[in-house]
Amino acid sequence: MHFSFTEEHDMFRDTVREVFAGECSAEAIRTSWESDDGRVPGLWATLAEVGVLATMAPTEAGGLGMDEVASVRLLEEAGYAGVPEPLMEHMAVAVPALAVAGASELLDPALSGGSTVTLALASGGPNVVAAASADLVIAEHSESLVAVDAEALTVTPKDSIDQSRRLFEISFDPDAAHPLAGADVALAADRAALGTAAQCVGVARRLLDTTVEYVTERRQFGKPVGTYQAVKHHLANVRLGIEFSAPLVYRAAWSVAHCDDSVLRGRDVSMAKAMASDAVDRACRAALQCHGAIGYTFEYDLQIWLKRGWSLSGAYGDARQHRDRVADALGLLP
Amino acid sequence: MDLELSPRYIEFRDECRTWLHENRPTEEFSSMDSAAGFEQHRGWERTLFEGSWSVPAWPAAYGGRDCDLIEWLIYEEEYWLSGVPGRVSANGVSLLAPTVFNFGTKAQQDYFLPRMASGEQIWAQGWSEPEAGSDLAGIKTTAVRDGDDYVVNGQKTWCSRGKYADWIFCIVRTDPTAERHAGLSYLLVPADAPGMTRRTIQRLDGESGFAEIFFDDCRVSADHVLGEPGQGWAVAMAAAGSERGLNLRSPGRFMAAAERLRRLAAELGETADGLDARLRDEVVDAWIRAEAYRWQTYFVTAELMAGGDLGSEASLMKVFWSEMDLELHATALRLLGDEAEVPSDWLDGYVFALGGPIYAGTNEIQRNIIAERVLGLPRR
């Protein structure tokens, strides 16, 4: 029993944090909202270069041979930075699915950054993120996973409150899809929920840091609003949510990487997503309330993370849905 | 990261489980806050001690097993799952002992620790006063040096186990000219000291819960100051870290309670027309929270074992477990519906849990600590 990250994990996390700090500023995110493809120029290539996209591919396939324990740490940083790319979909779900299926002609460009892969799982609902700008979609079809080329897709755009999520309803001709033999739908769904939970924790951390900074600066009645107990307690509650959801995310990452029992694995993932969704919901509410009117504006950057929080909290199952899955694992469903 | 128990830990867990199963008392235990129940629980402490299970994390020289933190957490999980009686010695073992190890003289350690481990000396906490609750630095009880003794005057209150305890660890003001956090000392007072009187205070459910203690020219040997005179605040804060964090409420207690709640819900779900969806959601939430507390504790434990320090983060744990415990029991009562008001273990547990957000520093104070010391928000 040793519940901590290795130095290697920490160093990788630090590298990725620096990449995001340098290349994915709030300004870059806003620019991506205005662009046709919704991407941050250059970021994908850098993520490929430092190995992020290849984290979960085996070394013999040209990857880093790491597992979910490493990837959740990076996705937490992606949440913190508000990265508008389909990074979780690509690196945490699509890459290992392509790898296990031995689809090297599809995997190689995904690792090198030559392609972007998104996901269409039933557990993610009808709205597929970044389907128009992706080169490939890993889709759930007849209880298995298939890979669909961009040319074989019909996409219908939908708006999201979160401009970092370009949503599309998609359809495709199943005969034009590549079957991914050996890629497990339930495992993909667990990875997606886990990766989303990790991002939720990162978003919550960002909202907390931003708000702590704001209430320390902002003065009313002659002193920082952060001196008032009502404000302090809001933010202490946010910290509590983060403190007790992050270890569940790390624990679930370990389960996905090491546990052969899919019921226990699913239970651990759902516990993590339920807590992380609740934590980020709480963070969004408190951050907005503690900012007051300025936080309610489009101009102020807080909205970037509020919207990430709102969308990711519900993505791949909200807290209630995941608690239902835990209820099932605990024998509490009829 | 490795979240499997290694063979060594599995062996430890099995040994622990077997011993608890074989030595589990068969008779019903009365409340540890009644005269008879107190002695019954003392007997259980003796049994634990004889099996070297009363203080497993302590050095063997003082009756322990030199367990590391992981073993201690495993022990706690097994302890609470086994359904054996609670620990009447918790104040001493969990709150006082860490400070005796840190601040005590060799003579104090050699005298107090073995007696604490065996249940021969059971301790109560004498911190709060009628005018000093959350504002602990406002205490007024004085201890004036007179030859080899201190002469204590004043009043302590809300002392858990205070009526029957053998010793009381107190914060007293030894320098009347100093204010607030200065001039305080940590004084260990035997319950038979002349000039001490104790009175039971009934809890809101009518059970005897805690005591108030009056000192009237009560003489205590100066040898019984823990740490240096004037260092009382530092000793108390070190103890408070233990109280709020790992030592007082390990995850095992709540995992066992969450599992009992799950079973209650499963049974009711079978007899009634399935469980109400909202109640089921609450049950699951309680179960998830117990797991969250467990894994957060293991995460923090890894940091502690690597030489880290718990510090103000203990406040996060205290708020979390106390509110989790209260919600868990409130859910149980909602499940019981019309029967909730009829005395039961769940109702007892609920009344006990109601105190959680109040004792060991109210959760309002804890949230201030989280905001100021963990988040760094301005004090003024």
- Answer yes or no: is pLDDT of A185 > 60: yes
Q: How confident is the model at residue B287, as a pLDDT?
A: 98
Q: How do the residues of chain B divide into helix, strand and coil, expressed in percent and rounded to 5?
A: 50, 15, 30
Low-confidence ranges of chain B (pLDDT < 50): none
Asked whether B332 and B350 are in contact (CB, 8 A), the reply is: yes
Question: Are residues B87 and B208 located together in one domain of the fold?
Answer: no
Contact partners, residue B214, CB within 8 Å, separation at least 6: B155, B196, B197, B198, B199
B353, part of any domain = yes
| DSSP class per residue in B140-179 | --EEEEETTEEEEEEEEEEEETTTT-SEEEEEEES-TTS-
Amino acid at site B202 = Q
Q: What is the chain A residue with the closest CA to B282? A: A323
Q: How confident is the model at residue B248, as a pLDDT?
A: 74
Question: Are residues B60 and B98 located together in one domain of the fold?
Answer: yes
B291, A244: Cβ pair inside 8 Å? no
Distance from CA of A197 to the nearest CA of B (A): 14
Phi-psi region of B125 (alpha: psi -120 to 50; beta: other; left: phi over 0): beta
In angstroms, rounded to a whole number, what is the distance separating the alpha carbons of residues A242 and B61? 40
- Residue where a domain stops, chosen among B79, B95, B118: B118
Question: Are residues B259 and B366 located together in one domain of the fold?
Answer: yes
A247, B288: Cβ pair inside 8 Å? no
Q: What is the chain A residue with the closest CA to B7? A: A1
Q: How confident is the model at residue B243, as a pLDDT?
A: 60
Question: Are residues B370 and B326 located together in one domain of the fold?
Answer: yes
From the list B283, B298, B370, the residue facing A332 with the nearest CB is B283
- Residue where a domain stops, chosen among B169, B203, B231: B231
The reply to whether B194 touches chain A by the CB within 8 Å rule is: no
Buried b (16+ CB within 10 A) or exposed e, B315-333: bbbbbbbbbbbbebbbbbb
What confidence tens digit (pLDDT) does each residue in A74-95 have?
Answer: 999 999 999 999 999 999 999 9
pTM, two decimals, is 0.96
From the list A1, A5, A223, the residue facing B298 with the nearest CB is A1
Class of domain A186-329: mainly alpha
CB atoms within 10 A of CB B237: 12
Residue in A331, A325, A309 with CA at minimum distance from that of residue A272: A325
B262, part of any domain = yes
Residue in B326, B378, B332 with CA at minimum distance from that of residue B355: B326
Question: Are residues B255 and B364 located together in one domain of the fold?
Answer: yes
Q: Which of B212, B243, B282, B313 is catalytic?
A: B243
In angstroms, rounded to a whole number, what is the distance separating the alpha carbons of residues B51 and B78? 15
B39 part of the active site:
no
Average pLDDT, chain A: 97
Chain B residues closer than 8 Å to A247 by CB: 292, 295-296, 298-299
Asked whether A272 and A317 are in contact (CB, 8 A), the reply is: no
Asked whether A214 and B377 are in contact (CB, 8 A), the reply is: no
In angstroms, rounded to a whole number, what is the distance separating the alpha carbons of residues A107 and A111? 6
Q: Give the CB-side neighbour count of residue B297, counting CA atoms within 13 A.
A: 30
Question: Are residues B111 and B147 located together in one domain of the fold?
Answer: no
Asked whether A168 and A155 are in contact (CB, 8 A), the reply is: yes
Distance from CA of B173 to the nearest CA of A (A): 29
From the list A3, A235, A254, the residue facing B302 with the nearest CB is A3
A232, B1: Cβ pair inside 8 Å? no
CATH number at residue B44: 1.10.540.10
Distance from CA of A185 to the nearest CA of B (A): 25
Q: Which of A3, A13, A239, A328 to mutate to test the interface with B (most CBs of B within 10 A)?
A: A3
A254, B375: Cβ pair inside 8 Å? no
Chain B residues closer than 8 Å to A208 by CB: 375
The reply to whether B280 touches chain A by the CB within 8 Å rule is: yes
Asked whether A116 and A130 are in contact (CB, 8 A), the reply is: yes
Number of domains in chain B: 3
Q: How confident is the model at residue B245, as a pLDDT?
A: 55
Residue B225's domain comprises 123-231
Distance from CA of B276 to the nearest CA of A (A): 10
Question: Are residues B85 and B143 located together in one domain of the fold?
Answer: no
A144-149 and A178-179 beta bridge pairing: antiparallel
Q: Which of B282, B283, B291 to mutate to test the interface with A (most CBs of A within 10 A)?
A: B291
- Answer yes or no: is pLDDT of A276 > 60: yes
B375, A239: Cβ pair inside 8 Å? yes
Chain B residues closer than 8 Å to A274 by CB: 284-285, 288
Residue spans of beta strands (DSSP E) within chain A = 117-120, 128-129, 136-141, 144-149, 153-158, 167-172, 178-179, 219-220, 223-224
CATH number at residue B225: 2.40.110.10
Q: How confident is the model at residue B206, as a pLDDT?
A: 85
- Residue where a domain stops, chosen among B231, B254, B280: B231
Confidence of residue A223 (pLDDT cuts 50, 70, 90): very high
Asked whether B243 and B96 are in contact (CB, 8 A), the reply is: no
Question: Are residues B85 and B141 located together in one domain of the fold?
Answer: no
A2, B372: Cβ pair inside 8 Å? no
Q: What is the chain A residue with the closest CA to B271? A: A334
ipTM score for this prediction: 0.96
B269, A332: Cβ pair inside 8 Å? yes
Q: Which of A5, A205, A243 to mutate to test the interface with B (most CBs of B within 10 A)?
A: A243
CB atoms within 10 A of CB A100: 19
Q: What is the chain B residue with the closest CA to A324? A: B281
Question: Are residues B208 and B271 located together in one domain of the fold?
Answer: no
Distance from CA of A2 to the nearest CA of B (A): 5
Least confident of A10-14, A138-142, B267-271: B267-271
pLDDT > 90: percent of chain A: 99
Chain A residues closer than 8 Å to B319 by CB: 236, 240
B240, part of any domain = no
Question: Are residues B257 and B364 located together in one domain of the fold?
Answer: yes
Q: How confident is the model at residue B246, as a pLDDT?
A: 67
Question: Are residues B274 and B328 located together in one domain of the fold?
Answer: yes
In angstroms, rounded to a whole number, what is the distance separating the alpha carbons of residues B79 and A221? 53
Q: How confident is the model at residue B179, as a pLDDT?
A: 86
